[in-house]
Amino acid sequence: MNPFSFVRANSPKAAIDAVSKGDNSRFIAGGTNLLDLMKNGVMQPEKLVDINNLPLKDIQLSKDKLHIGALALNSTVAADNQVKAQFPLLSQALLAGASQQLRNMATVGGNMMQRTRCSYFYDTAMPCNKRQPGSGCGAIGGVNRMHAIFGASDKCIAVHPSDMCVALVALDATVLVTGPKGERKIPFADFHRLPGDTPEKDNNLGKGELITAVEIPNNPYTKNIYYLKVRDRASYAFALVSVAAALELDGNVIKSARLAMGGVAHKPWRLAAAEQSLIGKTATEENFRVAATVAMENAKAYEHNSFKLQLAPNSIVTALLKATSV
Ligand code: SF4
């Protein structure tokens, strides 16, 4: 691991100033991904700015939204009674991620900032445009079983590894950030990026910008929800495919729907066209299958992940059936 300096910030402004001034400084909270990246030589920050003392751990439900501080722990949010009652999709998705020990360390902001688990990204002997722009992509033409089927580019086919973010994009969350130029809000769907020609950029944060909170508008998705995660082993594995499904039903008729997938793209992948195809339909397997077919338009597989072209639509149908079987 390269030498680095370490400072502890006691206010958001101090943290932002400390990161903005350095060329290669990073915020650190739980460190569950960043420390691995540093040990492997994938990231080599010259300065770490510890933000754990900042007052960003609150979880507050108001009349129209849920506010979650960026430093709230994944385990705390998943177990929060308000979250479990009003936003159960988020709780389920959080509990599908990592292990209990990791959830006890990882924060909401850190979960959003975690980087792809593409094995070539972590192997500094291999080419990787995300780690070293212009070096090539080891996964295209390599072992790409875990990789994207939507939104990839000829520079990078990696997927975002989060479960929590799949639920947040489905629930129309907003990201609150503050930085050298002040505060702003970013719709969750616009927070992470597709790789395009700049796969080294995972998200749309500017230099020195700090995530302070995530807010989710109140919604009717308290009952007919399901987070399905398909993975190689039952615990502590990243998704081959995951589906966040939420339905608002009037009897057996779908009034509104939310669908998003993980493990399929460089960002959490919202299935807006599939959602639209469900509205006004009855909640039947046949209609779920039609929505899954709509969702798979423009999917493209690589040498080792063509199984996802079947696994993904089957997972959408299964998640919707589970959501309606409660
Ligand atoms: Fe790197 Fe992306 Fe290619 Fe993986 S898929 S090797 S992260 S450029």
Whether 19 and 208 have beta carbons less than 8 Å apart is answered as yes
- Residues 67-86 pLDDT 10s: 999 999 999 999 999 999 99
Closest ligand 1 atom to residue 158 Cα is 5
Token digits of residue 131: 């780690």
What does 191-203 look like in DSSP terms, one character per residue? TB---TT-TT--B
- Ligand 1 centre to CA of 242 (Å) is 20
- Ligand 1 centre to CA of 197 (Å) is 12
Token digits of residue 33: 């991904």
Q: Where are the domains of the chain?
A: 5-52, 225-323
- Residues 134-182 pLDDT 10s: 999 999 999 999 999 999 999 999 999 999 999 999 999 999 999 999 9
Whether 312 and 299 have beta carbons less than 8 Å apart is answered as yes
Query: Is the shortest distance between the CB of 165 and ligand 1 below 6 Å?
Result: no
| Pairing mode of beta strands 47-50, 25-28 | parallel
- Ligand 1 centre to CA of 136 (Å) is 8
From 118, 124, 160, 266, mutation site for ligand 1 pocket: most ligand atoms within 8 A of C-beta: 118
Please, which residues bridge with residue 260 across strands?
244, 270
pLDDT at 326: 80
Same fold for the pair 5-52 and 225-323:
no
pLDDT at 175: 98
CA separation (Å) from 221 to 90, 128, 202, 306? 11, 40, 29, 32
From 42, 114, 116, mutation site for ligand 1 pocket: most ligand atoms within 8 A of C-beta: 116
Alpha carbons within 13 A on the beta-carbon side of 169: 24
pLDDT at 1: 79
pLDDT at 81: 98
5-52 CATH, one of 3.40.50.300, 3.30.43.10, 1.20.272.10, 3.40.30.10: 3.30.43.10
Token digits of residue 306: 């063509």
| Pairing mode of beta strands 253-262, 174-179 | unpaired
pLDDT at 194: 98
- Ligand 1 centre to CA of 256 (Å) is 36
pLDDT at 235: 87
What whole-number distance in Å separates Cα of residue 326 and Cα of residue 321? 9
Whether 48 and 69 have beta carbons less than 8 Å apart is answered as no
Task: Kindly give the residue spans of alpha helices, DSSP state H, lying in 174-299.
Answer: 272-278, 285-295
**What element of type H or E holds 47?**
strand 47-50
pLDDT at 275: 98
Query: Is the shortest distance between the CB of 121 and ligand 1 below 6 Å?
Result: yes
Of all protein residues, whose CA lies closest to atom 7 belonging to ligand 1? 121
Query: Is the shortest distance between the CB of 139 and ligand 1 below 6 Å?
Result: yes
Query: Is the shortest distance between the CB of 258 and ligand 1 below 6 Å?
Result: no
Task: Tell whether pTM > 0.75.
Answer: yes
CATH superfamily for domain 225-323: CO dehydrogenase flavoprotein, C-terminal domain (3.30.390.50)
Which sign does the torsion angle of CA 69, 74, 76, 78 carry?
positive
Query: Is the shortest distance between the CB of 265 and ligand 1 below 6 Å?
Result: no
Ranges of residues in the chain with a pLDDT under 50 are none
Whether 43 and 26 have beta carbons less than 8 Å apart is answered as yes
What whole-number distance in Å separates Cα of residue 294 and Cα of residue 144? 24
DSSP classification of residue 75: H
What whole-number distance in Å separates Cα of residue 194 and Cα of residue 267? 6
- Ligand 1 centre to CA of 43 (Å) is 15
